[in-house]
Each structure stands twice: as structure tokens, then as C-alpha cells.
Amino acid sequence: MFGKTVNRELRTKNHLLALESSCDETAAAVCSLDGTLRAGRVASQVEIHRQYGGVVPEVASRNHILHVRPLVEAVLNDAGITLRDVAAFAATSGPGLVSSLLIGTSMAKALAVAEGKPFLAINHMEGHLLSPFMGGNGPVRPCVALIVSGGHTMLVRVHDVGRYELLGRTRDDAAGEAFDKVAKMLGLPYPGGPEIDKLAANGDPAAFAFPRSFLDGRSLEFSFSGLKTAVLYERPRLDLTREQTLADVCASVQAAIVEVLVEKLVLAARKARLDLAAVSGGVSCNRGLRAALQARCTREGIGLLLAEPALCTDNAGMIAFAAVQRFQRGHTSPLEADVDPNLPLA
């Protein structure tokens, strides 16, 4: 956890330190004020929560407390800076688990007070939304954004930083939740998305005709609960001890989710008359989704920005980047700013 890459030349006050603790990952990152990620670390709790088949909030919160301070020290060390070189501190203030959010925000506020620097409360979904613009893909510009995570699936029209218009969201399960729930039915470990991704690589995506819920065809809303039910009904007929059967089910489930996501994104871009799409969130790691997006967007003449795989799942780099965008536009948050488990993006 304490790797060292010290570069003394980067020692200036032009840095922002951000913390992310909305769910079960504790993360810290340092960004330069030009938006370049200098250091980022994630202390994963996935092994701890796997034994329960999902995240246990109390356990997550206690582990955030254990990890947060060593992580701050580690990223400062990685970036080759000290607290004196930080111009502002940020943390995710929602949406997420209250007991988890409180750890990161309390730490960031405490650092801000101790150093006499501003604090910024950042929306976790804005972190995901802007992450495709990291790594030299900036500046942030108008686009249609698809955010696909474990808790959310939404299409957003981005006018500028902080100017977002919700175009559609899921009516029931999020895409990541659908991956996770189906994986659980198939006896795969939590989190199920990466497991399905791996197994799907050797399967036939046309083996099972699982439903694609397009709703009324022109709708930008999503629904994944029918897919879950279809897999549940199919399960008694399946011999999941057969490797090929399991791979075929995974490939077919993935194909159903991917097709809906890709088609709705293209529809949203057409409706909004935008030729740039930005895709982010844990599910955007999925190799099937990335390949399908590349192919379809190329055919449609839509530019595609995909978050780097390491920045798709929860991390603090994306929170630092979003905070830098806001800080550069003169935004800061009051220290009284509370956490909000249901914080809306738009």
C-alpha cells in the first residue's frame, strides 16, 4: 500500500487531494490543478464482503476508518508532496451509504480545517460522469454520458461541468446490479460483473434469447428486472456444472445487457443531436460492452470516450478530477455540507 514514486519537481501548492468512501472501497488520490492524476490508491474490501454475498454497511464503515489515514499518507508520498502542497481537499458526499460517506468527508474536512484550505463535497456520480475526460481527453465538453454502475444506470446530457440534464434512468435494477444478481443465481462469487465478463469470453452470445427491454422503443429509460426473471426460469433446465453451458449463459446475459445499453446511448445521442458519448462506471470495464460501443459508435460517427478500466470502478482519482473542474471554476463547499445517501446528480 505504500509504494514510492517521489518527484520533487512536482512540489508546488497546485494539488488537490480527494477521498472516496461511498460504498466498500476506501480510496485516496492526488490530482494537479490542471487535472493530471498524480497518485491514486484503492483499499478494496471485496474479499471481506464476498463472504456475505454483498456489502455490509457497518463492516464497510469500520474498514474505511482503518484504511483512510494510511491511504492519505501513501498518496502524498506517491505524488512526492506533503499536505502543505495541497490547495484544496475533496470527498464524495453522496450518493452512497451514510456510514461510509461520513468517514471520507470527515477526514477531508478535518484536513481542510487543519491546513486552512477549502473543502469540496463531490457527487459520486459526477466523478464517474467526468472520468472519461481524464488522461488527456479534456477539456470537458458537451456530450451524452452513460453511467453504468452497481447502483445506477443513467443517460445524462452534459452541457458543461455542473450543468447536467437527466435523460433517462433505470426503472428497477441498475446494469451492474443485474450482472451481480444473475451471477449470484448462477452460483458465481460477488461481485458478479467481472465473473460474467470472464466466462462470457468463451461462450456463445446467441445460445439463449434473453429479453432486451427497450420499453416503448423511443424511451431512454432502462429496465433489467425481466432479464433476471428470465434467467431464474431458465435455471432449472441448465446443467451449470457443464463449463460450456455456464459460459453460454454468461455470454447471452452479457449480450442482452450490452445491446440495450448501446442502443439507448445511440438513441440518446441522436435525440440530443450530439456526436460525442462518454461512458463510465463499473460496468464500463466490461470487455463486451467496450467492444460493442467502439463498433457501434464508429458506425454512427459518434466520438466515444471510455473511462480507463482502472478508473471505471470506484476510485478517488475521478473524485479528484471532478473536484479540480469545480475548484477551477471557483466552487467550494461549506464545512457544514452534509452527506446525502440519495444525492441527485441533476
Residue 284 near Zn ion by CB under 5 A: no
User: How many degrees, rounded to 5, is the angle at CA 282 between CA 33 and CA 294?
Assistant: 90
**76 vs 158, beta carbon nearer Zn ion:** 158
Residue 314 near ligand KG4 by CB under 6 A: yes
Q: Kindly state the cell numbers that stand for 68.
A: 483512510
**81 vs 277, beta carbon nearer ligand KG4:** 277
Q: Is 260 helix (H, G, I), strand (E, B) or coil?
A: helix
The radius of gyration of the chain's CA atoms, rounded to the nearest angstrom, is 20
Q: Residues 311-340 vs Zn ion: string with x where CB under 5 A?
A: ---x--------------------------
Sign of CA dihedral 179, 132, 298, 271: positive
Residue 223 near ligand KG4 by CB under 6 A: no
**32 vs 149, beta carbon nearer ligand KG4:** 149
Residue 194 to residue 266: CA distance in whole angstroms: 25
Q: How many CA atoms lie within 13 A of 296 on its CB side?
A: 20
Nearest one of 315, 314, 297 to 306, comparing CA atoms: 297
Where residue 80 falls (left for φ over 0; alpha for ψ -120 to 50; beta otherwise) is: left
Contacts (CB under 5 A) with Zn ion, residues 101-160: 149
How many Cβ atoms sit within 10 Å of the Cβ of residue 337?
A: 15
The minimum distance between CB 317 and Zn ion, in angstroms, equals: 12
* Binder of residue 313, out of ligand KG4, Zn ion, none (CB less than 5 to 8 A by kind): ligand KG4
Return the residue matching grid coordinates 466466462: 199
The minimum distance between CB 197 and ligand KG4, in angstroms, equals: 4
| Binder among 199, 282, 308, 339 for ligand KG4 (CB under 6 A) | 282
DSSP 28: E
Q: How far is CA 32 from CA 17, 129, 136, 286, in A?
A: 9, 19, 13, 29
Residue 24 near ligand KG4 by CB under 6 A: no
Residue 193 near ligand KG4 by CB under 6 A: yes
**81 vs 312, beta carbon nearer Zn ion:** 312
Residue 44 to residue 26: CA distance in whole angstroms: 7
| Binder among 89, 119, 179, 224 for ligand KG4 (CB under 6 A) | 179
Q: Is 301 within 8 Å of 137 (Cβ atoms)?
A: no
**129 vs 186, beta carbon nearer Zn ion:** 129
Residue 208 to residue 309: CA distance in whole angstroms: 28
**100 vs 149, beta carbon nearer Zn ion:** 149
* Binder of residue 197, out of ligand KG4, Zn ion, none (CB less than 5 to 8 A by kind): ligand KG4
The minimum distance between CB 218 and ligand KG4, in angstroms, equals: 27
**149 vs 286, beta carbon nearer Zn ion:** 149
**Side-by-side strand order, sheet with 25-32:** 37-44, 25-32, 15-20, 86-94, 119-123
The minimum distance between CB 336 and ligand KG4, in angstroms, equals: 26
Contacts (CB under 6 A) with ligand KG4, residues 91-150: 149-150
Residue 25 near Zn ion by CB under 5 A: no
Residue 176 near ligand KG4 by CB under 6 A: yes
Q: Residues 240-279 vs ligand KG4: string with x where CB under 6 A?
A: ----------------------------------------
Residues in touch with ligand KG4 (CB under 6 A): 23, 149-151, 176, 179-180, 191-194, 197, 281-283, 285-286, 313-314
